[in-house]
Amino acid sequence: MSHDLLGLELVVVLGAALLGCEVAGRRLGLAPPVLLLAAGALLGFVPALREVHLPPEAMLLLFLPVLLYWESLTTSLREIRSNLRGIVLMSTLLVIATAAAVAATAHALGLPWGPAWVLGAALAPTDATAVGVLARRLPRRTLTVLRAESLVNDGTALVIYGLAVGITVGAEHLGVVHVGWLFLLAYAGGAAAGIATAWLGVLVRRRLDDPLQESVAVVLIPFTAFLGAEAIHASGVLAVVVCGLIMSQSGPRVGLPGARQQTQAAWSLAAHLLNGSLFVLIGLEAQSAVRGLTSVDLARALVTVAIVSAVLVAVRLAFLFVAVFLIRAIDRRPQQRLRRVSHRARVVSAVAGFRGAVSLAAALAVPHTLDSGAPFEDRDIITFVTCGVIVVTLVGQGLLLPAVVRWARLPRDTSVEDERHLAQTVATEEALDALDEVAAELGTDPEVVRRLREEYEAHLLVLRADREGAEDVPALRHDQHDTALRLALLARKRATVLRLRDQQRIDDTVLRQVQTALDIEEVRLSRRR
Q: What is the pLDDT of residues 362-400, one digit of tens each?
A: 888 888 787 777 888 888 889 889 988 988 888 888 888
In whole angstroms, what is the distance from residue 254 CA to residue 519 CA?
A: 26
Same domain (yes/no): 80, 107:
yes
Specify if 261 maps to a domain.
yes
| pTM beyond cutoff 0.85 | no
Q: Give residue 173's pLDDT.
A: 62
Among 125-129, 138-142, 236-240, the range with the most confident prediction by mean pLDDT is 236-240
202: pLDDT strictly greater than 60 = yes
The 3-state DSSP class for residue 529 equals: coil
In this prediction, residue 333 carries a pLDDT of: 65
Average pLDDT, the chain: 83
- Rounded to 10°, the helix 84-108/140-169 angle is 40
Residue at a domain's end among 358, 375, 409 = 409
- Do both 88 and 148 map to the same domain? yes
Say if residue 201 is in the same domain as residue 320: yes
Name the percent of the chain in helix, strand, coil, to the closest 5. 80, 0, 20
Same structural domain, 249 and 357: yes
Looking at the structure of the chain, the number of domains it has is 2
Residues 358 and 477 in one domain: no
Exposed, middle or buried: residue 317 (CB in 10 Å: 0-12, 13-18, 19+)? middle
Last residue of a domain, one of 389, 409, 429: 409
| Residue 99: closest CA among 316, 327, 303, 331 | 316
In this predicted structure, what is the pLDDT of residue 215?
84
With respect to residue 104, please indicate whether it lies within any of the assigned structural domains: yes
- The total number of residues shown for the chain amounts to 529
Give residue 318's pLDDT.
93
Q: Based on the fold, state whether residues 254 and 272 are members of the same structural domain.
A: yes
Residue 402, in any domain of the structure: yes
Query: Which range is most confident: 236-250, 305-319, 472-486?
Result: 305-319
Check whether 463 has a pLDDT greater than 90. no
The stretches of 331-378 forming alpha helices (DSSP H) are 334-338, 343-351, 357-364
Residue 1 has pLDDT above 60, yes or no: no
Whether residues 144 and 247 share a domain: the answer is: yes
**CATH code, domain carrying 132:** 1.20.1530.20
Say whether both 215 and 264 belong to one domain. Answer: yes
Do 331 and 467 share a domain, yes or no? no
* Residue 420 shares a structural domain with residue 401: no
In a domain, 140, yes or no: yes
Asked whether residue 405 is domain-assigned, the answer is yes
Render the burial of 390-404: b for 16+ CB within 10 Å, e for the rest: bbbbbbebbeebeeb
Flag whether 161 is in a domain.
yes
pLDDT digits (tens, 9 = 90+) for 42-81: 888 887 777 666 676 666 677 888 888 888 888 888 878 8
- Distance of CA 477 to CAs 421, 462, 473, 485, 487, Å? 18, 9, 6, 12, 16
Question: Which of 409, 434, 452 corresponds to the end of one domain?
Answer: 409
- For 521, half-sphere exposure in the C-beta direction (CA atoms, 13 angstrom radius) is 17
In a domain, 12, yes or no: no
Residue 28 maps to a domain? no
Domain of residue 161: give its range.
Answer: 67-276+306-409
- Cα–Cα dist 286/395, whole Å: 13
The reply to whether 310 and 256 lie within a common domain is: yes
- Cα separation of 261 and 377, whole Å? 50
Q: Are residues 271 and 311 in the same domain?
A: yes
Across the range 215-235, mean pLDDT stands at 90
